[in-house]
Structure 1
Amino acid sequence: MTKLKISLFALAIFINSLTVKAQQETDAVIIGHVVAYGEHIPFVNIYLENTNYGTTTDATGHYMMIDLPEGKFTLVAKMIGYKTEKRPITLKAGETIEIKFELEEEVMKVDEVVITGTKTFKRQTESAVIVNVVDSRTIKNIAAQTVSEALNFQPGLRMEVDCQTCNYSQLRMNGLGGAYSQILVNSRAVFSPLTGLYGLEQLPSEMVERIEVVRGGASALYGSSAIGGTVNIITRMPQRNSFEITSNNTVIGDGSTDFNLNGTLTALSQKRNAGVALYTSHRQRDAYDHNGDRFSELPSLTNNSFGLNSFFRLDEKQKLEANLSSMHEYRYGGEMTDGPAYLARQSEERTHDVLMGGVDYELTSEEGNRTLALYTAGQYTKRKHFTGIAPDEGPDLQDYNNDPPYGNSKNYTLQMGAQLNQTVQDFIRGTNTFTFGAEYVVDDVFDEIESYEYLIDQNSRNLGAFVQSDWMLSRKVTLLTGVRADKHNFVDALIVNPRISFLFKPGLNGQFRLSWSTGFRAPQAFDADMHIAFAGGGIQTIQLSEDLKEERSQSWSTSFNWDRPTEKHIYGFTLEGFYTRLKDAFIQEEIGTTEKGNSILEKRNGGASNVYGATLEARLNYNRKLQVETGVTLQKSIYENPVAWSEELPGTKDYLRTPESYGYYTFTWTPGDRFSTTLSGIYTGSMLVPHYGAAEDPGTPEQDILFQSPEFLETNLKLAYTFELQRLDSSIELFGGINNMLNQYQDDFDSGKNRDSGYVYGPARPRTFFIGLRIFN
């Protein structure tokens, strides 16, 4: 009897499986191809809208979808860089239909899908927070070798070199210093205060798919340090099987060289449900001495990087993404001599080993209206460093050689979090996407130089939770509201920061936005606080005030964006105004010197400060042959109370190293498929630069000076020509050009070992010539 029951049960299961299979095998089939300008396009996404049925075109640009459900649907063809095409179709059992798509290339990408503004994927014109994008094509046009070079070509942003010896740099956004900018890698906050010292220059541009930029405090959902804005570096994700190898050879000034070799490889599985992108980079740069004193203005560099980015579609509803990168860099600046660093009269030596990675898991509900994301990311940095200026002679020199100022740093950052997105289609009026999330970030940094009695031993921990409502009341109106609560171990109370953003579309071509938000920075050491400078014949360090408390902010911004597309061209502009008020703003004031004559700056709260201004962007693309983009920022940054940056001079209310005007432009001409040329420029207005003197030293001023710098216009040119290797299904691009053609470069550097290494302003490099080769498919 038992055997009979088992047999009947097995038979029922078999019959049921046949029934289900018969129901699924409708023999409703779609076939077709996708072309653009007469050429078949491989790996285009083809899918039935609002269903789980989809495929991609093969290497020949053709596709087939079988056993589809009956009924009326919308068939979509979509690929990055092309306009999305949709076709209404009717599917019937046993019938095969043929649908051919002809895609148009985007004239200018003004409506890309972005994530940084809202923590969810949205098109730029539909996001209540304005998001700018630097894509890989722009990065190639301007011949940027690193992420730091690419960021200069965005409105409101300015990369700044702050050390003549080691070339420590920071990103300033909307008139605020680097510590007010939140740097993300694949939406994760793994850039620590220590990695922020050189990190943007250490990231090769070859690893980047695009960079998303949110200016101002509207990005406060990312937590502390997002007051000035957020930069999200999105690394390459495989979309097709491809390779690319690029070699760039540069001559700096009078003959120093800078050699870069980069390679990327992307591969997809046959079913396109798994893929990996690999990149590797090597850089070798000689030291460069501009004023002939045998002390470098650009340090020597040796950098080797490797990384991967991968995805795995576990099924139609689950996706796993993982990324990992490793970087080793040696950097030396100062007196240009052979031998160990401590035998130089003045030098800085850095050896970095950085490991960075993350894992993201995403689960989508059957209905497609709910997604759950779990993520973790982290970095580990190990650094050996030397920062020293040798006494002239006698016992002091002997003591210095017996105990040279070598140091060690260890730093790790770990982020863990979860995020739930729920879309409600009929929410009172319109559609609302609710976002709920929580994340925990820990950053531990240990940095010590025993001979200077210098020590930073800092462990910061922050638990944050956020909720957001992205309410599209109508096609013209969107209201974005959110609040984030943070419990930081350096702050006694729970900190709650709300934000509100409003989007109104008066017509098809324009968007008006208004945002308000609050933010904070914890009372801890950030990147600039960990940099040891040379000044006044000794070193200069920064220490934290014993009663330092958190800095709070309120930010307002408003903007109007307008673009008019036609069949042959598109043109438009963006006008934005911004205002940020800081309460208990962090300042640095000179408080004296040590027994060895080294200068001490104290980081303390200095009352309120205000930063306000306006940014204007303009863009034009004519028939995919001529593309122009430009942006200019006019702004003012002032403290309510004077800041005593020097004991010798009265304080000033103006922000130091902050020009009141700056901007950029790019002019790209592509008359055909083979030749292209790009003329670009970076404008830096006049600013106040502190200059610490050393008495009786001819290479420095006799006393401290607050210097008004001249303005600069850095002009760059790139020419490129592409040869097609049809037999190999590949192409070769030859390119070359000049950076800083007019040699707009600082000409009054200090000289000798007692120089003020912080007295540096203007373009990051003198006139340089480059030539390169790119092989790709």
Structure 2
Amino acid sequence: MKKLKSLLYSNKILKKSLYIFLIVFCLIKSSEKIYSQNDSIQRLNEVVITGTKTTKQRTNSQVIVNTINHTTLNNIQACNLSEGLKFQPGVRIETDCQTCNYTQLRINGLQGGYSQILINGRPIFSPLMSLYGMEQIPTNMIDRIEVIKGAGSSLYGSSSIAGTVNVIMKKPLKNNFEFNYHSGLINNQTHDNLISANTTKISRTKKAGISILIHNRRRGLYDHNNDSFSEIPSLNNFAFGINAFLKPRKNQRLEISLNKINEYRFGGEISEQDPHLKKQAEERTHSNWITSLDYEVNFNDHLSLFTYLGAQNTERNHFTGIFPDLEDEVENYLDNPPYGNSNINTLNTGLQINRKINNFIIGPNTLSLGIEHLYDNVFDEIKAYNYKIDQETQNTAAFLQSDWTLSKKLSLLSGIRLDQHNLIEKYILSPRYSLLYKFEKSQIRLSYGEGFRAPQAFDTDLHIAFAGGGVSRVNLASELKPETSESISGSINYDLSSDRYIYGFTIDVFVTQIKNTFLLHPIGADEFGEIFEKQNGDNAKVQGITCEFRFNYNQKVQFESGFTIQSSQFQNPVTYINGISPTTNFMRTPENYGFAILSIYPAKKIFLNFNYIYTGKMQVPHLSGAENQMEDEILTTSTFHEINSKLNYTLKITNKDFKIDLFAGVKNILNSYQNDFDVGKYRDSNFIYGPSQPRTIFIGLTAKYN
């Protein structure tokens, strides 16, 4: 309780936001009974699972769960998971390498290593897969995405300090077939083609079903500044997936998922040579397996059991190198080119029991007790650079959760998780508390939680970048301690509906305090380039407010948006580049950002979509070495306004169950894109910011049979 009070009273944004809460609350109460409730609004009654690890109606969840379903992914023409996550409040997707374009998920401004990505609720999205996996998972694999932020995610263990993203794969529901074709042209220069198909078959008894999907994407190299080095890498991505279920008995369900993703990715000098003969290049060949097995038994209305097994394997062959200028270095380079290999294995297994007690002192309570084990083995090596990560982590955890309905209006979600991590001497205890109070058309939520990050290699630690005329690498300090965090958030959610329209808003205030923060300290250079060491620093605090607004008129016009204002500061100044004054600011973290989606249905067969992504100013480190960058600096970027559009026309082909959607559109209409890239082979590849691609025109079709 002392920690909670300290966190509250030291926070100016949180205290000021209480006044906003009071004003908004009074406005809500004065207008709450003017309109009637329309129970047909599906969005309000959506069922989610990530907030409590059990199925629950969204408005009854003590933790705010934001969702994006497959329909929305199609409307915004998202090709993969990365493009879909951009349209979530408090969430940013950023590209962090000019050569290979690996992406990073940021929730509430914190780096990717602070967020947990789940596949069907399982933490099998490995550190290496986090580099490229969000681009590798196609949207035709995804049924929906659920996102929880901050304090609500601590029951998911290590690395869920900022939040949790649960990617729920498509499951067989009804007989259908779908074919998709998409063709894009990036800035009148580079082609990007995608083809995919899904089919589902359900048995007559509805006791078994299977879904099969395939996906292929091919994209060429794109050079934005005409220096013969790419800013967007080429891709050849192939994915195949099978999802099936079986109901051996009425109260039992077995689910199996098997997905295979292969990807070839290349960035660097644009020439017809092997990678090690190019002036600068990054080549990646990935082979990913993702599989899960879930078994559910409902003994009665009050007792259920879940047991699960999830696994992921990634094999990667890769090259990262710069061709030497000096003749005496060329022979050694050609004899020992910097090719490498990686092998990642992740295994998660667990058991969860849910027991509902109808009369628990003063109301019903659902108790959940679970135990799980997570094994992760990371091997990555480039012998030419004397670079090697050979890391094995094992985490065994037990958790207990109480979902207690105290009255029709008040409910309390409390939980505690105990982790034993092989890289941490002591047990880690992580509590979580979430309170929900419901009015007729609104809800108020308060949450508090604690979390941790183990002293291990995360996504960005496995990325070797070009910088300072060589390659930069990250090592872990020998005495690295775990990070710990405290998070508190408060929100008010309001929705008002009639027979013709619905509108609503959410205001979410958050603050996260981190102790023993992981920092990358420049410790010098060797013959290959810069070396950074991950060390523990002082405390840091992230705080802010996210506002969401949504509106639907007569199912003809729909609008939704989210905007975040935040501050991300270290307690003491941090040195990012030797010779540059230290700063307390987080790098690559804008103080304001947001999104908006407008969908218009002017006629039965016509659909229009406009969407917008705003990225505010941020500070980005920039190392010298390129021919157009002679000094190290920390640059403050300009703002970016990315506007996208899509027009869809539906054709009904004789049979009413068969239809074809023809669509066309433009991504990044204003061509809001970085224009100060480094040039040449000695560029700082981490100096990249803003939208992931320039103006892109696309056309395509979708054929569906139900």
**Which of the five TM-score ranges fits, normalised by the shorter chain?**
over 0.9
Where does residue 46 of structure 2 map in the other structure?
A: 112
Cα shift at 1:641 = 1.5
Relative to structure 1, the CA distance from residue 105 to residue 387 in structure 2 (aligned partners, 3 Å threshold; closer, same or farther) is farther
Runs of 4+ in 1 over 3 A off after TM superposition: 104-108
Report if the CA contact (8 A) 1:244-1:775 is conserved.
Answer: yes
- Given candidates 489, 499, 502, the residue that maps to 1:570 is 502
Deviation at 1:729, TM superposition (A): 2.8
2:89 aligned to which of 134, 148, 155: 155
Question: 1:249 and 1:182 mapped to 2: Cα distance?
Answer: 32
Q: Deviations over 1:61-86 (max 9, x none)?
A: xxxxxxxxxxxxxxxxxxxxxxxxxx
Whole-angstrom CA distance in 2 between matches of 1:648 and 1:766: 34
Work out the percentage of aligned pairs sharing the same amino acid.
46
C-alpha distance in structure 1 between counterparts of 2:416 and 2:253, whole Å? 28
Secondary structure at the counterpart of residue 153 of structure 2: helix
**1:321 aligned onto 2:249:** no
Q: Secondary structure at the match of 1:153?
A: coil
Q: Note if 1:557 corresponds to 2:489.
A: yes
Task: After superposition, give the CA deviation of every residue in 1:103-159 in whole Å (9 maximum; x if it has no partner).
Answer: x99546122100000000001110100101101111011000001000000100000
* 3-state SS in 1 of match to 2:73: helix
Distance in 1, Cα, partners of 2:656 & 2:489: 52
Residue from 451, 470, 481 that aligns with 2:414: 481
Instruction: Assess if the C-alpha contact under 8 Å between 1:107 and 1:569 holds in 2.
Output: no
Task: Quote the residue 1:732 is aligned against.
Answer: 660
Q: Tell me if the contact between 2:627 and 2:682 (Cα under 8 Å) persists in the aligned partners.
A: no
1:649 aligns with 2:580: yes
| Cα offset, 1:673, TM superposition | 2.2
What's the TM-score once normalised by structure 2's chain length?
Answer: 0.94
Does residue 435 of the first structure (1) align with residue 363 of the second (2)?
no
One-letter amino acid of the structure 2 residue matched with residue 187 of structure 1: G
| CA apart distance, 1:221 | 0.7
2:14 aligns with none
Q: Does the 8 A contact of 2:385 with 2:528 survive in 1?
A: no
Kept in 1, the 8 Å contact 2:113–2:458? The answer is yes
Question: Cα deviation per residue 1:215-264 (whole Å; 9 max; x = unaligned)?
Answer: 11311111001100000001111111001100000000132000000111
CA shift, 1:727, in A, is 2.9
1:712 partner letter: F
Q: Distance in 1 between matches of 2:256 and 2:172?
A: 12
TM-score (norm 1): 0.85
1:363-416 Cα distance to aligned partner (Å, 9 max, x none): 111x32111001000011100000001111311122111110000000100001
Secondary structure (helix, strand or coil) at the match of 2:152 reads helix
Q: 1:296 aligns with which of 230, 234, 237?
A: 230
1:82-161 aligned at under 5 Å gives the runs 106-107=40-41, 109-161=43-95
**Which of 152, 162, 177 is 1:243 aligned to?**
177
- Partner of residue 716, structure 1: 644
* Residue 260 (structure 2) pairs with residue 260 (structure 1): no
RMSD of aligned Cα (Å)? 1.0
Tell me what 1:469 maps to: 402
Partner residue of 2:565 out of 630, 634, 637:
634
1:753 to 681, 693, 700: 681
- Given the superposition, is the C-alpha separation of residues 603 and 156 from structure 1 closer, same or farther in structure 2, using an over 3 Å criterion? same
Deviation readout 1:657-676 (Å, 9 max, x if unpaired): 00000000000001232100
Q: 1:519 pairs with 434, 451, 456, which one? A: 451
- Residue 545 (structure 2) aligned to one of 608, 614, 627: 614
**1:540 and 2:472 aligned:** yes
Residues 105 and 124 of structure 1: CA distance in aligned 2, closer, same or farther (over 3 Å):
closer
1:501-533 deviation per Cα after TM superposition (whole angstroms, max 9, x unaligned): 00001x221000000000000000000111000
Cα distance between partner residues in 2 of 1:519 and 1:729: 49
What code does the residue aligned with 2:509 have? Answer: G
Contact 1:347–1:389 (8 Å) recurs in 2: yes
Q: Would the aligned equivalents of 1:238 and 1:276 in 2 still touch at CA under 8 Å? A: yes
Q: CA deviation at 1:702?
A: 1.3
| CA 536–191 in structure 1, closer or farther in 2 if over 3 Å, else same | same
- The one of 146, 154, 175 equivalent to 2:109 is 175
Task: Tell me the amino acid that sits aligned with residue 176 of structure 2.
Answer: S
Q: Which residue of 1 aligns with 2:607?
A: 676
SS in 2 for 1:726: coil
Checking the alignment, whether the CA contact within 8 Å between 1:588 and 1:643 is kept in structure 2 is no
| Number of the residue aligned with 2:21 | none
Question: How far off is 1:647 after superposition?
Answer: 1.1
Residues in 2 aligned to 1:549 and 1:106: alpha-carbon distance in whole angstroms: 51
* Closer, same or farther: CA 755–384 of 1 in aligned 2, 3 Å: same
Aligned match of 2:292: 358
User: 1:37 matched to which residue of 2?
Assistant: none
Unmatched runs of 5 consecutive residues or more in structure 1: 1-103
Check the 8 A contact 1:107/1:623 in 2, yes or no.
no
Shift of 1:728: 6.9
- Alignment counterpart, residue 627 of structure 2, candidates 670, 683, 698: 698
| CA distance, structure 2, for counterparts of residue 643 and residue 546 of structure 1 | 20
Alpha carbons 2:651, 2:661 under 8 Å: kept: yes
Q: Matched residue pairs, number?
A: 668
Q: Does 1:283 align with 2:217?
A: yes
Partner of 2:35: none
**Whole-Å separation in 1 of the counterparts to 2:591 and 2:403:** 35
Asked if the contact 2:343–2:378 (Cα under 8 Å) also holds between the matched residues in 1, the reply is yes
Give the distance between the partners of 2:561 and 2:57, measured in 1 at CA: 22
The residue type paired with residue 469 of structure 1 is S
Query: Structure 1 residues 108 and 683, CA, compared in 2 at 3 Å: closer, same or farther?
Result: farther
Could you tell me which residue of structure 1 aligns to residue 310 of structure 2? Answer: 377
Report 1 or 2 for greater relative contact order, CA contacts < 8 Å, sequence distance ≥ 6.
Answer: 2
CA distance in 2, matches of 1:130, 1:292: 46
| Structure of higher CA gyration radius | 1
Q: Quick one: distance in 2 between partners of 1:415 and 1:722?
A: 43
